[in-house]
């Protein structure tokens, strides 16, 4: 249990009511996710079984094998899962291993079938054994992290300082990330290349070109993790690595993150729906599987509520952030994540011209802190109201850092004064880290002394936002199709996304009664 002091006087019955409503909203979505699969879930299963690499055109073998399965079996390839036909072919001797099978299938020399009877039993056992080996690797990587933290040492205190790097070239990212760690960053996030979330495949190998970011690939993960391990030993503290498990390949990237010992992954339940127009059903199915993998891998997820405030007003829409946090908590715990893995997002995005804006920011930040006392909340810096005035921006980031110190945030993303002007230079990052270090060194323990007046603006505003969140969830429960209708209506971030629309819908299928996926079977029985 948390030892944090309660300062807002939140009614425990009201907080329980909030979580009860979040469960009422979320349970139909979980039922929907359990009753469906996607091409990305099936490809992630193949990756966990060891299938990697790509053809000469750069198309991953998991994609090629999945495409052949759908061509040979039609709807049954998803409805019954890819594991049975693939391991049936291996058991029958059509190939010696998964890669060879994928190559032969892509060349048209192997046809897949859906086995039955004893053939299905043998395929099921072989598939489970192969996937269990991959999940065993994920387990070993988690143990390896725990051992390194114990041997090398951890960041001395919260909040962890979280800094983004991304040049497009992984070999340029590495020295920038190492330099950032030496300047005080505890978490390095390699932001993903623009548009990767819309690719229905994971690029292969180390990549040297990317627009406004670097591609998330298994090799890029391996290279950066190895470089940060080297720097961790140099500094005497374990430096964590973050990337993005989102988009059309969310489950696959989650699997790769577990295999390569990433420590945090951006993984929001609704971000891809709202801001990338990915089909809602596909997103909810993919996010449940990805969170099961993250739970197993000991990865902390970062959710994306801050993005709502880039399109909606941060005062008027504050309750949608709280609602999303409650939903993300429900979905995450249902998938097996623990409180210490819930980097729930919130942001410092109120227009600084609004009277009492800093007090309002404190109210929102403290509400999140007290609703989720054991979660390492991810506190996001101002972006929407950065104007290009670097002096004002630097000051605004200082206020953001102070709000984080006053309210005891867990993960503090470093704000850049050149936000909205350029992709920050190394020198910009150095100045931003100086800002963070000054504030935290001067005021880092002020959350112990900060006690808002019981009848003051901060407390009243927090209670108002929580009440509005409860009202919103009650309205969502009244919708015929619950959360799916609310998303279609533009409730979150002003984005209207109908359940029957969006990218990736053709990669979703309802599962048959005899559907088999060894990955979900192992993850759920061991949770």
Catalytic residues: 271, 306, 378
Q: What are phi and psi of 338, to 5 degrees?
A: -100, 165
Pair 465, 367: CB distance under 8 Å: yes
State CA 464 to chain mean position distance: 29
Helix (H) or strand (E) holding 193: none
How far apart CA 410 and CA 342 sit, in angstroms, is 10
How far apart CA 201 and CA 205 sit, in angstroms, is 13
How far apart CA 472 and CA 452 sit, in angstroms, is 26
Q: Where are the alpha helices (DSSP H) in 60-113?
A: 61-73, 76-79, 83-91, 98-107
Class of residue 424 by CB neighbours under 10 A (exposed 0-12, middle 13-18, buried 19+): buried
CA distance to 53, 165, 238, 288, 334, per residue, from 170 (Å) = 19, 10, 20, 29, 35
Helix (H) or strand (E) holding 263: none
Residue 132 region by backbone torsions, left for phi larger than 0, else alpha for psi between -120 and 50, else beta = alpha
How far apart CA 114 and CA 481 sit, in angstroms, is 34
Among residues 143, 148, 160, 295, the alpha carbon closest in space to that of 228 is found at 148
């Amino acid at each position: 249990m948390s030892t944090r002091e309660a300062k807002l006087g939140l009614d425990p019955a009201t907080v329980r009511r909030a979580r009860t409503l979040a469960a009422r909203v979320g349970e139909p979505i979980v039922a929907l996710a359990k009753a469906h699969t996607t091409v990305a879930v099936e490809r992630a299963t193949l990756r966990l079984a060891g299938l990697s690499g790509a053809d000469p055109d750069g198309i991953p073998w998991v994609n090629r094998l999945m495409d052949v399965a759908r061509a040979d079996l039609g709807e049954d390839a998803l409805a019954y899962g890819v594991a049975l036909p693939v391991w049936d072919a291996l058991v029958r001797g059509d190939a010696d291993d998964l890669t060879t099978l994928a190559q032969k299938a892509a060349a048209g020399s192997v046809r897949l079938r859906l086995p039955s009877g004893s053939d299905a039993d043998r395929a099921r056992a072989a598939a489970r054994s192969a996937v269990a080996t991959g999940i065993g690797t994920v387990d070993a990587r988690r143990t390896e992290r725990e051992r390194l933290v114990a041997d090398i040492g951890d960041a001395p205190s919260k909040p962890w300082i979280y800094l983004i790097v991304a040049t497009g070239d992984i070999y340029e990212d590495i020295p920038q990330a190492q330099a950032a760690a030496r300047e005080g960053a505890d978490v390095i996030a390699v932001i993903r290349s623009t548009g990767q979330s819309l690719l229905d495949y994971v690029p292969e190998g180390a990549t040297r070109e990317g627009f406004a970011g670097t591609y998330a690939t298994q090799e890029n993960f391996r290279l950066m993790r190895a470089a940060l391990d080297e720097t961790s030993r140099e500094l005497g503290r374990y430096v964590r690595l973050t990337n993005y498990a989102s988009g059309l390949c969310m489950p696959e990237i989650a699997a790769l993150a577990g295999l390569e010992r990433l420590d945090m992954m951006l993984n929001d339940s609704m971000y891809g729906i709202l801001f990338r127009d990915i089909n809602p059903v596909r997103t909810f199915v993919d996010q449940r599987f990805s969170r099961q993998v993250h739970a197993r891998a000991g990865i902390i997820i970062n959710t994306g509520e801050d993005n709502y405030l880039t399109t909606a007003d941060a005062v008027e829409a504050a309750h949608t952030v709280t609602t999303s946090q409650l939903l993300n908590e429900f979905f995450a715990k249902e998938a097996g994540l623990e409180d210490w893995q819930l980097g729930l997002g919130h942001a410092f995005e109120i227009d600084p011209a609004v009277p009492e804006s800093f007090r309002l920011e404190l109210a929102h930040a403290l509400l999140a802190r007290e609703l989720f006392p054991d979660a390492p909340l991810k506190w996001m810096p101002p972006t929407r109201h950065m104007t290009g005035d670097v002096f004002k921006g630097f000051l605004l980031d200082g206020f953001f850092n102070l709000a984080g110190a006053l309210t005891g945030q867990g993960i503090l993303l470093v704000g850049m004064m050149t936000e909205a002007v350029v992709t920050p230079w190394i020198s910009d990052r150095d100045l931003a880290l100086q800002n963070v270090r000054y504030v935290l060194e001067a005021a880092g323990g002020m959350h112990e002394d900060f006690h808002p007046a019981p009848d003051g603006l901060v407390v009243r505003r927090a209670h108002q936002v929580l009440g509005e969140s409860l009202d919103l969830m009650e309205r969502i429960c009244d919708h015929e199709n619950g959360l799916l209708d609310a998303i279609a209506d533009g409730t979150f971030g002003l984005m209207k996304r109908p359940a029957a629309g969006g990218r990736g819908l053709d990669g979703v299928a309802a599962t048959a009664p005899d559907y088999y996926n060894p990955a979900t079977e192992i993850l759920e029985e061991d949770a």
